[in-house]
Amino acid sequence: MNLVVLTGAGVSAESGIPTFRGKEGLWKNFKPEELATPEAFRKNPKLVWEWYDWRRQLISKAQPNKAHKLLAQIDAVIITQNVDGLHQRAGAKKVIELHGNIWRVRCTSCGKEYENYEVPLREIPPKCKFCNGLLRPAVVWFGESLPMDALEEAERLAKSCEVFLVVGTSGVVYPAGLLPFVAKQHGAKVVEINPESTPISEIADIVIREKATVGVEKFIQTMLNL
């Protein structure tokens, strides 16, 4: 079976990482425009980095859950909207990160990008190890375009797969939210795992109304019958 998986914040929620739009979402006490935009970073890089430092500390304590581990064991490419790196820590070999990775930094001066696992950060905002320029998180902020190579590969996979599994995503963040529709238009069966209804539910061939850990296990148990 040619299977492609799209994951969102819901797959990491059971690892203790808050979702962005749930009742305990990361935006509950903060405004996105104050923290996750290029404009916010230009205005106050220290504030933005203090928030990202808090997030990095939270994520560093999290462990891949059963959903991450099960998805890592099946032969599928994982397209993720998450920036936490938990799919890779669970052992997944084929991961396309649409929104970047919180454990990577990019220099605003020399443009070099590299991994940084320092928790907590010794200096806020951190400086580039190559040129001492100002670093930013290597993630996609609101108002920024997705990395073209990752998006093109995700679209190619959506068009060519037999089954497109969607786990724990609200389906309202674009262009990632369009991928299940692209897959459906090209003949794939769409399976959604989410405890709540989303725009994807309307086109899904199978809907599993469970949290990610339970839903992924149920999917794997039945996938041979798809």
Q: Residues with catalytic annotation?
A: 99
The two structure tokens encoding residue 82: 């998450």
Q: Is 114 annotated as a binding residue?
A: no
Q: Is 25 annotated as a binding residue?
A: yes
Q: Is 15 annotated as a binding residue?
A: yes
Q: Is 128 annotated as a binding residue?
A: yes
Residue carrying the six token digits 């979402």: 25
Q: Is 161 annotated as a binding residue?
A: no
Q: Is 60 annotated as a binding residue?
A: no
Q: Is 52 annotated as a binding residue?
A: yes
Q: Is 81 annotated as a binding residue?
A: yes
Q: Is 131 annotated as a binding residue?
A: yes
Q: Is 141 annotated as a binding residue?
A: no
Q: Is 55 annotated as a binding residue?
A: yes
Return phi, psi of residue 4, to 5°: -125, 140
DSSP one-letter string for the chain: --EEEEE-THHHHTTTPPPSSSTT-TTSSS-HHHHSSHHHHHH-HHHHHHHHHHHHHHHHH----HHHHHHHHSSEEEEE---S-HHHHTT-S-EEETTEEEEEEEETTT--EEE---SS-SSSS-B-TTT-PBEEEEEPPTTPPPPHHHHHHHHHHHHH-SEEEEES--S-STTGGGHHHHHHHTT-EEEEE-SS--GGGGT-SEEE-S-HHHHHHHHHHHGGG-
Q: Is 198 annotated as a binding residue?
A: no
138 contacts 101 by C-beta, under 8 angstroms: yes
Q: Which amino acid is at 189?
A: K
Q: Is 149 annotated as a binding residue?
A: no
Annotated binding site: 8-27, 52, 55, 81-84, 107, 110, 128, 131, 168-170, 194-196, 212
Annotated binding site for substrate: 52, 55
Annotated binding site for Zn(2+): 107, 110, 128, 131
